[in-house]
Structure 1
Amino acid sequence: MKFDLHTHHFRCGHADGNIRDYVEAGIAAGLSVIGISDHTPYFGNPEEHPFPHIAMAKKEFANYVEEVLKLKQEYEGKIDVLLGIESDFFPAHAETYRQVLSQYPFDYIIGSVHSVNEVSIFNKRRWKGLSEKQRIADKQSYYELIQQSARSGMFQILGHIDAMKGNYPAFSDIPAAEAIDETLQVIAENGVAIEINTSGKTKLSGGWYPSDSILERALHFGVDVTFGSDAHTPKRVADEWEDVAKRLKEIGFDEWVYYKNKQRVAVPL
């Protein structure tokens, strides 16, 4: 059974295609389940649309939900369309996000850390001139935010948990084994899944998020895993699904999960 829980569309300002395009791409790829999970608006910012090339406008949020729910009905029996969302995690605004998101019937919510110390994790310049000590501190801050997101109770899935390597491959070599292990323990204790996200190929790091070494530790701690292409164009829906399934079995996983009505559904590998 094939599924893909992480897809975007034009409303976020940096993806191509409409939601129907992704659903049709899912059918063409042989998916049984496709999750639509575009970026939330910036609910912690007073402006209507502060970052038009990063996330949707607040006024579009209800329209997004309505469109997914209509497509869910339309495609019933052909493919299971799930209503998801990818939410940023900002501790200072977590309650605002929680209150807004609780008003809608999401099948699942992906929690993603995209900013550390108010700088994008994908900003290549953030690392310039930093000492080894400062790089370690930034990596630890990243994983502390992921731990907080796991403890928040807001999310069923955590997105791309080593994506800070995306435009800075040397991130993986910054020593932080204890922080990663502690993070995986917290994730396991809070019953949250992590995604294998194949969009790393679109960044300088290449490969998937997270690395095999993190997946091996995730298995050790009993962390659930799921799949997300993080497609920003319909042609990437289900990208490398078979390769990921094969690698997970080699690591030792025997199942992965998806969420419907916020309930865990296990799928044998």
Structure 2
Amino acid sequence: MKFDLHTHHERCGHAVGTIRDYIEAGIKHGLGVIGISDHSPYFASELDREQPGISMAKSEFARYIEEVLKLKEEYSGRIEVLLGVESDFFPEHAQLYRQMYEPYPFDYIIGSVHLSGGASIFNKKRWNGLTEKQKVEQKEIYYDLIEQSARSGMFQILGHIDAMRGFYPAFTDIQTDAVDRTLQTIAAHGIAIEINTSGKTKDCGGWYPIDAVLERAHHYGVKVTFGSDAHKPERVGDDWEEVAQRLKEIGFKEWVYYKQKQPYTVPL
């Protein structure tokens, strides 16, 4: 049974297509389950829409949820539509975000770190002029945030856990024990990590996370799930079969999706 838990749509400002377009693409590509998980608003901002090209407005959030729930009902029997959100993780605002999510019937919440050390993780200029020691420090700051997100209890899935390499492939070669510590924490809290195939569209040219991280995740007993991170409908389910095969080669026997925040196991 094919599933894809990480999809966006036009509300976030940097994706194209409606929610319906992504659901229809899921049906076309043979999915049994599709999760809608657009970017959360910046709830801590005084502005309704802090960054129009990155995330939806706060005033759109309830309408987003209402639309997904209506489409879930409409498409029942054809494809299972799940209500998700990709949530930024800011430790200083975690309680506010928790309060904003609590009233709604999310099937799952993806916790993703997009800002680390005061800059976007995708800003390749952030690495300019850094010493090797400083590069290690930046990688450890990033993984500390991911580890904190795992401990927060807010998320069922952690998104693209090595996406800092997206536009800086050398990120992979920065040596630190922080990756293993983070994976151990994720395993201890029973959270899944996604294999996110959008990395293939970036400079690194491959999925998140890399095989070496997936091998360590398997060693520690971390659960895995699938997300295309589609920002256009044609990418829904992208590389699903290839990811399944790679996971079997690494040694995984199953992966999971979430409904009503409970994991459902799918054999590989």
Report if TM-score (shorter chain) is over 0.5: yes
Amino acid at match of 1:198: T
Tell me if 1:35 matches 2:35: yes
Show the counterpart of 1:228. Answer: 227
For 1:100 and 1:182, locate their aligned partners in 2 and report how far apart those are by CA, in whole Å.
30
For 1:124 and 1:255, locate their aligned partners in 2 and report how far apart those are by CA, in whole Å.
35
Per-residue deviation at 1:214?
Answer: 0.4
Per-residue deviation at 1:27?
Answer: 0.2
Show the counterpart of 2:195. Answer: 196
Residues 31-83 of structure 1, C-alpha deviation per residue, up to 9 Å, x if partnerless? 00000000000011111111000000000000000000000000000000000
For 2:102 and 2:217, locate their aligned partners in 1 and report how far apart those are by CA, in whole Å.
29
Q: How does 1:167-182 map to 2 (within 5 A)?
A: 167-176=167-176, 178-182=177-181
Show the counterpart of 2:213. Answer: 214
Show the counterpart of 1:124. Answer: 124
For 1:103 and 1:190, locate their aligned partners in 2 and report how far apart those are by CA, in whole Å.
23
Amino acid at match of 1:20: R
Q: How does 1:1-269 map to 2 (within 5 A)?
A: 1-176=1-176, 178-269=177-268
Alignment length (residue pairs): 268
For 1:180 and 1:174, locate their aligned partners in 2 and report how far apart those are by CA, in whole Å.
11
For 1:23 and 1:6, locate their aligned partners in 2 and report how far apart those are by CA, in whole Å.
12
Residues 83-140 of structure 1, C-alpha deviation per residue, up to 9 Å, x if partnerless? 0000000001111000001111100000000011120000011000111111000000
Per-residue deviation at 1:202?
Answer: 1.2
Secondary structure in structure 2 of the residue aligned to 1:83 = strand
Structure 1 runs of 4+ off > 6 angstroms?
none
Amino acid at match of 2:115: S
Secondary structure in structure 2 of the residue aligned to 1:50 = coil
For 1:124 and 1:237, locate their aligned partners in 2 and report how far apart those are by CA, in whole Å.
27
Structure 1 unpaired stretches of 5+ = none
For 2:135 and 2:118, locate their aligned partners in 1 and report how far apart those are by CA, in whole Å.
15
Per-residue deviation at 1:268?
Answer: 0.2
Secondary structure in structure 2 of the residue aligned to 1:20 = helix
Secondary structure in structure 1 of the residue aligned to 2:145 = helix
For 2:27 and 2:118, locate their aligned partners in 1 and report how far apart those are by CA, in whole Å.
39
Question: Normalised by the size of structure 2, how large is the TM-score?
Answer: 0.99
Aligned Cα root-mean-square deviation (Å)? 0.4
Question: Normalised by the size of structure 1, how large is the TM-score?
Answer: 0.99
Secondary structure in structure 2 of the residue aligned to 1:92 = helix
| Percent identity between the two aligned chains | 70
Residues 8-48 of structure 1, C-alpha deviation per residue, up to 9 Å, x if partnerless? 00000000000000000000000000000000000111111
Per-residue deviation at 1:239?
Answer: 0.1
